[in-house]
Structure 1
Amino acid sequence: MTAATKALTDGAIIAKRNLMKVKRMPEIIVMMLISPFMFILLFAFVFGNVIEIPGGNYREFLLGGIFAQTIIFGATFTGLGIAEDVQKGIIDRFRSLPASRSAVLVGRTTSDIVYNALSIGVMMLAGLLVGWRIRSSFLDAVAGVLLLLLFAYAFSWVMAFFGLLVPSVEVFNSATAVIIFPLTFLAGTFVPTEPLPPVIQTFAEWNPVTAIAQASRELFGNISAATPTPDAWPLREPVTYSLLWVVGILIVFVPLAIRRYSKTTNR
């Protein structure tokens, strides 16, 4: 058996373990699914009649931002689970087994694809309730879902690295909040980037969260033909820009996380 095959086989076992853990604690998945649902209702009904989208509909604009925000927040579930396993000494037990060094991380990030897929499904159902529709072809819509899951998977490796880096679950929650809230709100998630102050606008236009939000709008057909073409390249080519970020994140954080896993001990 090759190293890659062993990593995938061992990773599948770890992924199964993570899914079984949630099955015994269904409240975890319930809370993960309620949060995006509440965000959609809140923003759609509170801001839906106030914020104007040039040539478009705010509720359809909103869903792209909610998709992006939810998969970013969902990725923290990966780091949280790993930080908890480290704190309880479970990682030390895994490392004592004759398993691939990357199996725990592969299994953790892979199992979380299931949670993100469920979140996207719930968001779509909630979107239908507030007037959102898929207006593109079936293949484009499938590509939109796959791109969201791919971006979520890549970002899970970032959170996995931080989960191994911090000293406790509490520190992980605080540290990731400081990073994720600016990343998701200083972006074209809930409002267009054009009215923002120049410095913030530039940051928002090149923010990968803006790109994945814009890519989902494009692939689900939620950008009106009357909407002006953006000046910034990431917003003109959001799918390409998002894929570049996916590749870059995986190239950097997969080896970083695996190397850190080898050095991590029970705290």
Structure 2
Amino acid sequence: MSLSDPLSWNIDIDRFLNLLIPPPPWRWIPYPIAHFFGYRKTPPKALGNVLIAFWAFIGIFCGVSLIEGVSSHIPSFRDHGAPLIVASFGAAAVLEFCAIESPLAQPRCAVLGQIFSSIIGVGIAKLFAMSPRAEDLRWLSGSLACAAATAVMIMTKTVHPPAGATALLAAVDKSALALGWFLIPIMMLGAGLMLAAALILNNIQRRFPVYWWTPEELTKRRRPDVERTSSGAGEAEGKRFTPSPTPSLEGQSVTEDGPQILIRRGLLQVPEDVYLSSEEKQLLESLSNRL
């Protein structure tokens, strides 16, 4: 890493994980079923805010009710004094039924973000509980849990704002502290039920998720390295590099008249219906500046 180049301070775990993740299996799944997993042969039509508000109301009501109803009928939840629902699922419901195109609402973030944060929050709470001044230092454990969970979510590309609240609750809330490690299966179940409701209700007139793991193309093998001759100072001639994976349209129709990204010197235009990760935008902007 070069101290003088801020962009060099970047660790992309997907460079390694994406090699292990299989591509979406939509071509082998009947379309009526794949439809409710977010697959589309053609892009969905845009809806007015009245319909969006209607489906958000129905979705949030059903999603929250589903978690509360299931939790109330699990004996082990009652035995541990678990709440009907963890408060952070209220914010998660808004993301997963309202801002359904946001990267923060996609399944990878919505599920893994909550799990990672609950583990970190409970773990930090347990560490502080070993101190005789645990009660006086609870404020510190809460801030550390939220900060650590956020850092982990950034590094794992699972940023989910409600999960920050989960980590905070795990470290400072008395009922969450009493649950201890049992909070983790509670969050896993709640995140799974919320996702299941979102898959059914959001796909009636809209599309969810936009992607499951990443907007980038998933292939089992990395593409062959491409030779290039570097002209920058200090770089060895013939340095090899691997091109960044291209975004996956996941079922959208691709024609000559489809969405196009325009790159000119100092100009980058990306259609609103094309999602690019921050890394992809940085790459395209750097190419634009070099033209």
TM over 0.5: no
Structure with greater contact order relative to length (CA < 8 Å, sep ≥ 6) = 1
> Which has more helix, going by share of residues?
1
| TM-score, scaled to structure 2 | 0.26
Q: Which has the larger radius of gyration?
A: 2
